[in-house]
Amino acid sequence: DTGVSQDPRHKITKRGQNVTFRCDPISEHNRLYWYRQTLGQGPEFLTYFQNEAQLEKSRLLSDRFSAERPKGSFSTLEIQRTEQGDSAMYLCASSLVRQYEQYFGPGTRLTVT
Partner 1 sequence: DQQVKQNSPSLSVQEGRISILNCDYTNSMFDYFLWYKKYPAEGPTFLISISSIKDKNEDGRFTVFLNKSAKHLSLHIVPSQPGDSAVYFCAASARETSGSRLTFGEGTQLTVNP
Give the integer Cα–Cα distance in Å for 14 and 74: 26
Q: Is 25 in the site for partner 1 (CB under 8 A)?
A: no
- DSSP assignment of 42-72: --EEEEEEETTEEEEE-TTS-TTEEEE-TTS
The stretch among 11-19, 66-74, 79-87, 94-102 that binds partner 1 (CB under 8 A) is 94-102
Give the span between the Cα atoms of 105 and 91, in whole angstroms. 6
- Binding to partner 1, residues 31-90 (CB under 8 A): 31, 33, 35, 40-45, 48, 55-56, 58
Answer for the pair 44, 58: CB distance below 8 angstroms, yes or no: yes
* Smallest distance, partner 1 to C-beta of residue 81, A: 26
Residue 7 within binding range of partner 1, rule CB under 8 A: no
The minimum distance between CB 104 and partner 1, in angstroms, equals 4
Q: Which of 91, 94, 110, 112 binds partner 1 (CB under 8 A)?
A: 91
CB of 58 to partner 1, least distance (A): 7
Which residues are within 8 A (CB) of 82 and not within 5 positions of it... i.e. 6 or more apart?
Answer: 13, 14, 15, 16, 17, 18, 19, 64, 110, 112
Residues in touch with partner 1 (CB under 8 A)? 4, 6, 31, 33, 35, 40-45, 48, 55-56, 58, 91, 93, 95, 100-107
